[in-house]
Amino acid sequence: MKKLILCFTLIFSTFRLAIAEEGMLIPSLIAAFESDMQAMGMKLTAEQIYSVNHSSLKDAIIHFGGGCTAEIVSSQGLLLTNHHCGYSQIQSHSSLQNDYLKNGFWAKNLSGELANPGLTATRMVRIVDVTKEMLFGTDGLKGAEFEKKIKANSEKLIDDAMINTHYEAEIKAFNQGNEYYMIVKEIFSDVRLVGTPPNSIGKFGGDTDNWVWPRHTGDFSVFRIYAGSDNKPAAYNATNKPYAPLHYLPISFKDRNAGDFTMVYGFPGSTEQHVVSNYLKFIVEKERPARILMRDKSLSVIDAGMRSSDEIRIKYSAKQASIANEWKKWIGQIDGLKRMDAVSIKNQREAEYNDAASKNSAWKIEYGNVIAEMKKLVDTEIASEFDYSMGIEYLFRGPEYFKLARNVNDLMTNYTKHVENGKLPEVKKKLIDGAEGFFKNYDLGVDKKIFLLLTEEYYKQIKTAPKHVKMSLGHEGFANLIYSKSIFTNKERFVNFVKTYGKKSSKKLTKDVGFAHWKSLFTEFMEVTVPKFTQFDLKMEALLKTYVKGKLEMFPDKKHWADANGTLRITYGKLEGSTPADGMQYTEHTTLDGIIAKYNTGNPDFELLPRMLELYKEKDYGDYAQDGELWVCFSGSNHTTGGNSGSPCLDENGYLMGLNFDRSWESTMSDYMFDPSRCRNIVVDIRYVLWVMDKYAGAKHLVDEMTLMRN
């Protein structure tokens, strides 16, 4: 009877996977899914979604800043993305005198749009399967020889693709190295801030609502791509013109209904669907909880500081959002994986894999032991990943002065080279200029408290970490010494040190207690922790390559998709709610009424400015309402992850319904395992976005730039 139940469970599991809208599909392969998508209601053809020879939807989809997605919505290069994606730019333009975080910002014309040095907007030109070319001449090669040949093949392919063009190219491995694709792209470097709502709209709900449904966040901001006179990428210049795109997205202004077709087109960052069961257990029970605890401590300090003064609030808004985003995601991720009993499901699927391999002699030789080998590797070497994760949290996400220490360490290490090539003045100037921005957004008291809490926790977690001799003072005494004396915790001390840096300065640097502490830990991390973790990771990657190859070969009728890796992908589903737990039913959309209800709770995360209350009282929704209600957000069954922030959610005609900005808390586990019954992406309705522009902000000129489709 137990065998019968297990068999039924596996069959049912496989069936659910077959019908679920799981997967992040490579656009150049979308023709294989065209009929399925059309059966769900899509009216587009694969050629309209992705084409190299003609303009298509892909030409309106932009990789924003390398970590988010944006979409072009007008013939003048107007870009929409999430508020949180543009947050660092918004913050950089804000001050006590011009508090764009609190009050919002809207350029009245092109001349009022704000430049953002370093920000890029990237269009994908084409995506090409180069697996055969990449593997040419690799038969019989292993290890370093294999990697050397792969690198040589890659360099040649990239050089050939870029010759006589202004394009750039890269090649990425898919399906754990079983396939390779070349991405040819056009990178624009003049991207200007056009508008942003205040935090009370763009961050409405704060940490309380982050990763939670029902959601009422107007998570959007507006930018514009500028180009040279030839409409090609150009460095910032006041004479640059708005970019004329190959395609831009019309706006879907028709009524929405549960069950409507939805498609999300964007740049998902990273998923790990193939990890072995005991690795997933490690993530759920040890790695994620430890990282959450480290961020608990940082956030307790930052949140208190931001509440204490507007100056600190402005300085730390972007930092707090960055730290808190993954922190809360991980909490929901653990909960979802536990509720789903994901480790048990992994074990079931591994049993199915091993059973398939045992029925074919060739498969048994190649795939029969790969799961056992992955599990053994986790059991014997997983500590290296834990130490690596803790090092990342402390050395790269912890005390801020560590960033300056890293920069000066580079100056010390390469001092002779900088002198010989005459670049020392340039390097010094870069450090001093960087210090201006660093200390503009730095508070010594906040950083000192973070240092104290995280240093204590780090040494609890990593008992073998080297300790500086001055730590005999105790953590608090040690912190007092660093923050009162170190070069790196005071702008004047730091700038003077860099200005006068010479041949003998390294001695002074090594005596600096703050630098000595960082240096001992950083050296241990780079010379011991990173090599151990890299060795573990390379071994696991090699096993995963074999494991995935077996999946593709032994289960050809299943729906397979490559893990997200920051490249352009498509996911499709429906506009729908969910039932994430027993007795809990989520509807598919929220309205302005819900914003007011949350505001009335008095929670500071639900603060509103008077203008919103006035508009609600007037009920002036214009053409943006549906049946008398102003939709704010809706949820869909699209498989998304980090990097999909800002991605367009499109209707059956390829018109823009809204901006993807989140998943429900129950969905964050989808980075490891997708559950069709509960995994939902969250979208801010484009009609609410335009209502905010028009009615709230008085920026109807931006709405007028767009093409509104009412049918």
Indicate the number of domains in the chain. 3
User: Could you tell me the CATH number of the domain that includes residue 675?
Assistant: 2.40.10.120
CA dist., res. 204 & res. 612, Å (int): 12
The predicted structure's pLDDT at residue 626: 97
Domain final position from 141, 168, 188: 188
Q: Do 299 and 217 share a structural domain?
A: no
pLDDT at 18: 35
Asked if residue 697 and residue 675 are part of one domain, the reply reads: yes
Q: Are 656 and 690 within one domain?
A: yes
Q: What is the mean pLDDT of each run of 10 residues along the chain (711 residues)?
A: 33 35 92 95 98 97 96 98 96 94 97 97 98 96 92 97 97 97 98 98 93 96 98 97 98 96 97 97 97 97 95 91 90 92 97 97 97 98 97 96 95 92 93 93 96 95 84 85 96 95 90 94 96 97 97 93 97 93 89 97 95 95 95 97 97 98 92 91 98 98 97 79
Domain holding 72, by residue range, is: 11-120+189-273+563-709
Rounded-to-10 torsion of CA 202, 204, 210, 213:
-110
Question: Are 370 and 388 within one domain?
Answer: yes
- 1 domain residue, yes or no: no
The verdict on 514 and 652 lying in the same domain is no
- Looking at the fold, whether 570 and 438 belong to one and the same domain comes out as no
Burial class of 422 by CB neighbour count within 10 A (0 to 12, 13 to 18, 19+): exposed
Q: State the pLDDT at residue 11.
A: 32
Write down the pTM of the prediction.
Answer: 0.88
C-alpha to C-alpha distance for 2 and 154, rounded to whole angstroms: 51
List the catalytic residues.
84, 219, 645
Specify if 558 maps to a domain: no
Q: How far apart are CA 311 and CA 267, in angstroms?
A: 34
- End of a domain among 188, 216, 240? 188
- The DSSP result for 220-242, as a single string, is -EEEEEEE-TTSS-----TT-EE
Q: Give the N- to C-terminal CA distance of the chain in Å, as an integer.
A: 55
Tokens 């754990």 map to which residue? 176
Q: Which residues of 58-78 are buried (b: 16+ CB within 10 A; e: fewer)?
A: bbbbbbbbeebbbbbbbebbb
**Given this model, what pLDDT does residue 532 score?**
97
CA gap 452, 474 in Å, rounded? 10
| Same domain assignment for residues 53 and 182 | no
One domain for residues 261 and 377: no
Cα separation, 462 vs 389, whole angstroms = 11
Of 188, 221, 238, the residue at which a domain comes to its end is 188
Q: Are residues 79 and 91 in the same domain?
A: yes
Structure-block tokens of residue 363: 């498969």
